[in-house]
Amino acid sequence: MVPVTFMLLYQYFRTWKSFSISLICMASVFAFIGEPFSIWAHLVIYIKWKYIYSFIY
């Protein structure tokens, strides 16, 4: 899911400014919506991990 999203962002956002803004939006959606959903669905178990780590990474 992540590589396809990166490819789509790179394809549709031509300028660095729009690409950077969309990259921050994508990181926040994956870190603060996608990861809690994955934990809720019992797809992954994190030990001593915070969502902000995924956003920064």
Backbone phi, psi, residue 42, to 5°: 60, 40
Model confidence, pTM: 0.77
Q: How far is the C-alpha of 36 from the C-alpha of 57, rounded, in Å?
A: 16
pLDDT tens-place string over residues 1-57? 788 988 999 899 989 999 999 999 999 999 999 999 999 999 999 899 888 888 888
Q: Give pLDDT, residue 41.
A: 95
Q: Give pLDDT, residue 56.
A: 84
Number of domains in the chain: 1
Print the domain residue range for 28.
2-56
Place of tokens 């396809």: 4
Residue 43: Cβ within 10 Å count: 9
Q: Give pLDDT, residue 36.
A: 93
Q: Give pLDDT, residue 6.
A: 87
Spatial contact of 55 and 32, defined as CB atoms under 8 Å apart: yes
